[in-house]
């Protein structure tokens, strides 16, 4: 079962990581100025992850693959790690779809 980990960055912003059952980070957020907005971001991931059309598949300048999960308004709510192959990226997307909806939320000190 997946989990969202909420942590405070050194600059005081809040960030979440969605981790798969094996502990690997599969989606990371941008920084949020408040914890409440960070938690809203998590709810947005849970709501949007089941929709394949919300995943924006990308290739970086070094040829690695990654994806962004977008909200209904088009704003990016999470970004994946870099993958060596397109199939690895697709597996990452499937992992987000599988883990996000019932993931627990934990605060990391």
Residue with the two structure tokens 């394949």 = 52
Q: Domain total for the chain?
A: 1
The answer to the question of residue 59 being in a domain is yes
Determine the Cα–Cα distance for residues 18 and 109; give it in Å rounded to an integer: 16
pLDDT at 109 over 80: no
**CATH number of the CATH domain containing 73:** 2.30.29.80
Backbone torsions φ then ψ of 88, nearest 5 degrees: -65, -40
Which percentage of the chain shows pLDDT scores above 90? Answer: 98
pLDDT value of position 51: 97
The answer to the question of residue 109 being in a domain is no
The answer to the question of residue 58 being in a domain is yes
Confidence of residue 90 (pLDDT cuts 50, 70, 90): very high
Average pLDDT rounded to a whole number, residues 26-32: 97
Domain ranges, residue 46: 3-104
The answer to the question of residue 17 being in a domain is yes
The answer to the question of residue 83 being in a domain is yes
Average pLDDT rounded to a whole number, residues 34-61: 97
Q: How many CB atoms lie within 10 A of CB 89?
A: 22
The answer to the question of residue 54 being in a domain is yes
Burial of 80 (0-12, 13-18, 19+ CB in 10 A): buried
- DSSP secondary structure letter of residue 34: S
Backbone torsions φ then ψ of 34, nearest 5 degrees: -130, 155
Determine the Cα–Cα distance for residues 32 and 12; give it in Å rounded to an integer: 9
Residue in 50, 59, 37, 31 with CA at minimum distance from that of residue 96: 50
pLDDT at 58 over 90: yes
Average pLDDT rounded to a whole number, residues 80-106: 97
């Amino acid at each position: 079962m997946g989990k969202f980990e909420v942590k405070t960055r050194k600059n005081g912003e809040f960030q979440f990581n969605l981790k798969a059952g094996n502990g690997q980070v599969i989606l990371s957020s941008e920084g949020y100025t408040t914890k409440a907005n960070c938690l809203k971001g998590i709810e947005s991931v849970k709501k949007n992850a089941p929709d394949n059309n919300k995943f924006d598949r990308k290739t970086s300048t070094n040829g690695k693959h990654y994806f962004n999960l977008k909200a209904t308004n088009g704003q990016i709510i999470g970004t994946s790690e870099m993958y060596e192959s397109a199939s690895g990226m697709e597996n990452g997307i499937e992992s987000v779809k599988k883990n996000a909806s019932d993931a627990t939320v934990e605060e990391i000190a």
